Structure 1
Amino acid sequence: MSYTLKKLYHIDKDKYRQEYEKRFCCEDTVHIDFYIGDNQAFVCQSVEILNLIISIERTDKAVNKLYDRLPKKAITQFANRCLIDEIVLSNNIEGVHSTRKELNDILNDLSGNNKRQRFYGLVNKYKMLFSEDNIRIETCRDIRKIYDDIFLDEIKSTDSKNQPDGEIFRKSGVSVYSPTEREIHKGLCPEEKIISAMDSSLELLKNDKLDILIRIALFHYLFGYIHPFYDGNGRTSRFISSYLLSRELNHLIGYRISYTIKEHLNEYYKAFDVCNNPLNKGELTPFVEMFLKIIDISHKQLYYALEKRVNDLERYRLILKKLLPENSSAFNLYFVLVQATLFSNNGITVKELKQHFEISENTMRKMLRDIPKNLLVIDKNDREYHYLMNLSELDSFFHSTEFHKMDSSRNG
């Protein structure tokens, strides 16, 4: 909408009252069984909201077309790369430090050996976004289970007094503060009120008469307003939104939301502040518009990231066809290494390569040794070495006089 009720209040109080009545009573307005302070929550299905939904759905179709052109291995590598970035940034938004290396180590071994590691639950849960496994989100106890699976061990080990102490959620009050220690929001209290409000929010999430993207945006806001836990509310809420989006749009969108929120953090917090303000009288349209913009930007960024990699992959495939007999073992190895370079976080291991090609480790290592040293990059920072293709060297060789002489003799 062009302006918020909160803003209009300071311009013209008579118009403010008229505009509120107009928006609240409009036949396209959705009234929500939830109160923001003393005001019933509502959202206007504005032209901007409808246009954003159309844009998101259009981009999703384009993303799926690119996705279908990619080798399965490249998709898995890119998903893991995005997953790690998503968790790092979601943690970062809340001031929680995590490194890509520690998350990558957990991701490489989800067998249970890493269960004691701090972010095991978070990595394991985000990994589910890319599978067909469904996460139940229907009751308050479902929300608590998600929280326990992701954060409870972390909270116990870092700040045990912030564990939930109520029947399901917290039983005492909690506030949100600005960087300058100004209180900007009080979570609902006591726990009975939290449970009642969460039940209403979950009912809204099930209401299929309302577009699912609007429901996801509204639930994200309401979860933040309720603030059911002492700690971990933001990360829990972002995970739930990521999961719900991954079920509605291409799976990869679930690994992009925190990245885009981080880029637009001021707008994200401002939308919460505006809708929390009593002068906005329960209107949640500004938050829905902001959140749908986040999804729209995120999906477009995903499209551009995939488009560049798809184009680069095809270009290097054509280069390799000039260099090596297509479908030879050397061609296939080079092509997998190119994929790892374009799509993965840090390359591919010998273990992964031998499993992919279904050959012995000795044979795999011999094939790697046969690659010219200037074309092969070896990352030795982990226990297992990771291998990548030196794409700049591959480009240089392709454009070199030596290559063109070799190509002429082959075609002569």
Structure 2
Amino acid sequence: MPYKTLKTIDYEAHHDSKTVGTEYERRIHNYGIFKSGLYPFLIDHQELSQDRRELFITPLREIAIACERIEYNSAELKSKLKELPPIAEELYLKKSLINEITTSNRLSGIAVRRTEVKAALDSINKDNQEQVRFAPMAKMYNKILEDDFQRIESFVDLRKVYNQLLFGLIEKEQMPDGAFFRNRPVSIKNDQQKIIFQLPGNENDLEQRLSNWLKFISNKNIPFMIKGLLAHGYFENIHPFYDGNGRTSRYILSLYLARKLDLVTGLNVAQAIYENRESYEKALLALGDQGNFAEGSFFINDSLSMIENRQRKIIEDLDVNIKQLSRTNKKIQQIYQINSPEYFVLNLLLQSKIFTDNQADGLLDREIVEISENSKHSKRAINLAIKSLEQKKQITTLKKNPFQHSIDIN
């Protein structure tokens, strides 16, 4: 017999309150249930309900299996990254970071180009970084690549993440007007920007809800995947800020999964949601639907499915890229010896071509020269090799200021 939402059971029982009430009591008192200590806003026909229920998870077989598969995929992703040369790995992770920031902003209805995010990432160590759009956000995400995992243990920590992540991206009138969070009602809109319901504004109430959230995320007696995803869904449900809730909660989940699983999975949270945004929105609404009595099992199951599917797609793409790198490298070795500067240049341009989404994101000539400083090749030898390869039409010029070349891998 399939496990159904309580709202479905209510419908099938022709809205017999005794039937659905009995099933709810059976679930909430079931052996092995995960109670969160979190009390989400519950919505009844687009109106805020006064019903107060604790968010809970039934330990379904599907959830346990999905968690195990995700950990298996994570181990495989770590193994795939180890197969990559260091430069290819760096380029691939940078590509993932750029795509994640771009997608997270697009999910929030923000117009953004990948070139903007790349420019922001390139500026993070420069003096004018705060003047570059998305640079503070790029800096925050880049900390994930540096294994600098920011801890969130207090309201101060949470507000600090919000301020740093969204610096320059939130309109002044949309900034929190309470000590840490919003203090007025907020309207929740769908993808078409239509208001579907409104949440109350009371910072004292939000502080209590987020105090419970902080306790929950530090609870070591709940499986980490369930904890991370439920914390994400609850944060979205209570909307502690006027604007930027989605981007903040996605960043926190990225941070968490990168630490608990691997960098690639962590840097694909927004992309997993984007590929399944309709089902994700439905799952999020179901989480706060009064008819489901604050059961989070289905939100967890749907979220796990999104992450697992994204992981499998990444693994398949990496397999193709790794094979292409090996195959083309063998062709290059038929023309140039491995210890030649020409091979050195072509090998780097090949990695750059395969492991970036856009040629403009690839290695510049000066970066190839910098990398060569750790090899036996001199700067002069590398520059001469680039000139020779261009004359032989084995590489082409993409731009001249600064110089950048590309290899034709066909």
Q: Which amino acid aligns with 1:379?
A: L
Superposed displacement of residue 188, structure 1 = 5.0
Alignment of 1:189-208 (within 5 A): 189-208=201-220
TM-score by length of 2: 0.90
Counterpart residue identity of residue 405, structure 2: Y
* Structure 2: tracts of 5 or more residues without a match: 43-51
The residue correspondences of 1:23-42 to structure 2 (distance < 5 A) are 23-36=27-40, 37=42, 38-42=52-56
User: What residue is the counterpart of 1:69 in the other structure?
Assistant: 83
Name which of 251, 254, 258 aligns with 2:263.
251
Q: Given the superposition, is the C-alpha separation of residues 18 and 105 from structure 1 closer, same or farther in structure 2, using an over 3 Å criterion?
A: same
Q: Name whichever structure is richer in helix by fraction.
A: 1
Seen in structure 2, the aligned counterparts of structure 1 residues 276 and 335 have a Cα distance that, compared at 3 Å, is same
Tell me what 2:169 maps to. Answer: 154
Output the CA distance in 2 between the equivalents of 1:374 and 1:19: 72
Tell me the number of residue pairs that the alignment of Structure 1 and Structure 2 aligns. Answer: 388
Alignment CA distance shift 1:181-1:129 (3 Å): closer
Give the aligned residue type for 1:40. E
Q: CA RMSD in A?
A: 1.8
Seen in structure 2, the aligned counterparts of structure 1 residues 72 and 245 have a Cα distance that, compared at 3 Å, is: same
Per the TM alignment, residue 15 of structure 1 is displaced from its structure 2 partner at its CA by 3.5
Q: How many Å separate the matches in 2 of 1:65 and 1:151?
A: 34
CA distance in 2: counterparts of 1:198 and 1:327, whole angstroms:
58
1:203-352 aligned at under 5 Å gives the runs 203-344=215-356, 345-346=358-359, 347-352=362-367
Q: 1:2 to 1:124 in 2, by over 3 A?
A: same
| Structure 1 residue runs of 4 or more that deviate by more than 4 Å after TM superposition | 179-182, 359-363
Give TM-score, length-normalised by structure 1.
0.90
Which shows bigger deviation, 28-37 or 277-286? 28-37
- For residues 7 and 116 of structure 1, the distance between their equivalents in structure 2, rounded to whole angstroms, comes to 51
Correspondence 1:11-160 to 2 at 5 A: 11-12=12-13, 13=16, 14-36=18-40, 37=42, 38-112=52-126, 113-155=128-170, 159-160=171-172
Match of 1:398 in 2: none
Deviates most, 277-286 or 246-255: 246-255
Q: Which residue identity does 2:402 align to in structure 1?
A: E
* Counterparts of 2:186 and 2:236, CA distance in 1: 12
| Paired-residue identity, % | 25
**SS class of match (2:54):** strand
Deviates more, 1:336-345 or 1:14-23: 14-23
Q: Any idea what the Cα deviations from partners look like across 1:182-235, whole Å, max 9, x if unmatched?
A: 533434530011111111112111111111111110010110011011101101
**Residue ranges of structure 1 left out of the alignment (5+ in a row):** 393-412
1:401 maps to: none
Q: Distance in 2 between the 1:58 and 1:3 partners?
A: 28
Of residues 160, 164, 171, the one that matches 2:183 is 171
Q: Secondary structure of 1:101's match?
A: helix
Report which stretch shifted further, 322-331 or 69-78: 322-331
What is residue 409 of structure 2 aligned with on the other side? 391
1:374 shift after superposition: 3.4
User: In the alignment, is the contact (CA less than 8 A) between 2:129 and 2:136 conserved in 1?
Assistant: no
Q: Partner letter of residue 367 of structure 2?
A: E
In the TM superposition, what is the alpha-carbon distance from 1:41 to its structure 2 partner?
1.2
**Is contact 1:374–1:390 with CA below 8 Å preserved after alignment?**
no
Distance 1:231 1:298, change over 3 A: same
Q: 1:314 to 1:199 in 2, by over 3 A?
A: same
**Structure 2 match to 1:403:** none
1:38-75 deviations in Å (ceiling 9; x for gaps): 21211111111101001101111111111111111111
- 1:23 counterpart letter in structure 2: R
Aligned residues of 1:379 and 1:387 also touching (Cα < 8 A): yes
1:181 CA drift (Å): 5.5
Give the Cα separation in 1 of the matches to 2:98 and 2:349.
20
In the alignment, residue 318 of structure 2 is paired with which amino acid? L
- Secondary structure at the aligned position of 1:377 is classed as strand
**Which has the higher mean CA deviation after the structures are superposed, 188-197 or 348-357?**
188-197
- Paired residue secondary structure (2:55): strand
SS at the partner of 1:348?
A: coil
C-alpha deviation, 1:362, in angstroms: 5.2
Report if the CA contact (8 A) 2:39-2:55 is conserved.
Answer: yes
CA deviation after TM superposition for structure 1 residue 243, in Å: 0.7
The secondary structure found in structure 2 opposite 1:214 is: helix
* AA at the equivalent of 1:374: K
Amino acid aligned to 2:396: V
2:388 aligns with one of 350, 370, 380: 370
Give 3-state SS (helix, strand or coil) of 1:144's partner: helix
* Structure 1 equivalent of residue 47 of structure 2: none
Aligned to 2:112, the other structure's residue is in SS state coil
